[in-house]
Amino acid sequence: MPNVPRPRYDWDKIDERAVKMKKRRRFHLRYDKTLGLLLISPWLIGFLLFKFLPILASLALSFTDFYMLAPNDTQFIGFDNYVRMFQDSPVGFLIVATLNAAIRTIPLQIIASILLAALLNSSRLKGSTAVRTLFFLPSIIPSVAITFMWFGFMDPTTGWLNRFILEPLGLIGFDDMFSDAAVAILFAISSLWSIGPGMLIMLGAMQGVSKEIMEAARVDGAGPMTRFFAVTLPMISPAIFFALIINLIAIFGGVILLDRGDLFRGGSSPFDSYITRWMFDEWELGYAASLAWVFFILVMVVVVALFRSSRRWVYYPDREP
């Protein structure tokens, strides 16, 4: 074979082009980062001024005896506020009460969200968009308005529950709407009133389940219930886990007002109501800040434990070996 001359490359020019391309990529990356930071700068400024700095300030105040009516007399007292909690009997009661509220309401909310999402995801349902809107609307109503509405519904004398439901059935109505049974029922019902966002999360997850997998399960002889429990639920487990964390934080961060303005009456008020009492009734901001930080640590312990356990029951396709 005749000798074919090999092409000669100008390696210096090739190196220059590679360097220019790298500089151009770096410039575009810096431009994108700078533009992104500028676009989110209003949120960042608001976060720093109204979130991050107050959080740090509350941590500093938790080590002082800050009294809101006499701020000039503030002194550093170390861990005295945290030691004081062990002698404050309502603290333990409120932690248990908040956990009890979470155990009662969160499974109910998640189950209701999954069932509604399964109903809306059915191809046999007509007008699914309108039904979806109707179920989501209550979640945008202010919680205080919902509270007074349910108070009117359960009022012992004029409420619909006693007059039109329980009495015609020959059942005894509630004589005291602040009794333990009435509060438990009202709290459970009101927790279902705002499951619209959770329903949409579950519905989006169900619509993302591969149709090929569902068709393969149907061909293998799996019925609707088997496909739902063996295929759909494992596939939407990340959405279930997300809803679990969100609902848990919502329950720990504040629940419905059930005590007619009295922020702490030893009943079903959550831990944050007790913190509010020490802030705005007793004016002891230092002790209130220490309560908030202890409760934050407890919430984080629960959330971290849930994340650890999620490896065993949450399905992530990208983690498959």
Give the model's pLDDT for residue 208: 87
Give the model's pLDDT for residue 187: 67
DSSP for 123-135?
TT-SSHHHHHHHH
Neighbour-count burial for 8-34, b at 16+ CB within 10 Å, e otherwise? eeeeeeeeeeeeeeeeeeeeeeeeeee
Name the amino acid, one letter, at 227.
R
State pLDDT tens for residues 218-243.
888 888 888 888 888 888 999 999 98
Task: Please say if the pLDDT value at position 41 is more than 70.
Answer: yes
Q: Which residues pair with 67 in a beta bridge?
A: 284
Stronger pLDDT, 170 or 262, i.e. the higher one: 170
Percentage of the chain beyond pLDDT 90 is 5
State pLDDT tens for residues 205-214.
888 888 888 8
Rounded alpha-carbon distances, angstroms, from residue 306 to 3, 11, 238, 312: 71, 57, 12, 10
Task: Please say if the pLDDT value at position 97 is more than 60.
Answer: yes
Q: Is 262 in a helix, a strand, or coil?
A: coil
Give the model's pLDDT for residue 64: 92
State pLDDT tens for residues 183-211.
666 666 767 777 888 888 898 888 888 88
Q: Give the list of residues 6+ apart from residue 258 with CB closer than 8 angstroms, or none.
A: 147, 178, 183, 186, 187, 267, 268, 269
Count the residues in the chain: 321
Provide the token pair at 47: 């976060």
Give the model's pLDDT for residue 137: 78
Task: Please say if the pLDDT value at position 254 is more than 50.
Answer: no
For residue 67, which phi and psi values (nearest 5 degrees)? Answer: -110, 120
Provide the token pair at 180: 């333990």
Among 110, 101, 100, CA closest to 192: 110
State pLDDT tens for residues 45-56.
998 898 889 888
Cα–Cα–Cα angle for 248, 44, 61, rounded to 5 degrees: 65
DSSP for 198-240?
HHHHHHHHHHTS-HHHHHHHHHTT--HHHHIIIIIHHHTHHHH
Task: Please say if the pLDDT value at position 131 is more than 50.
Answer: yes
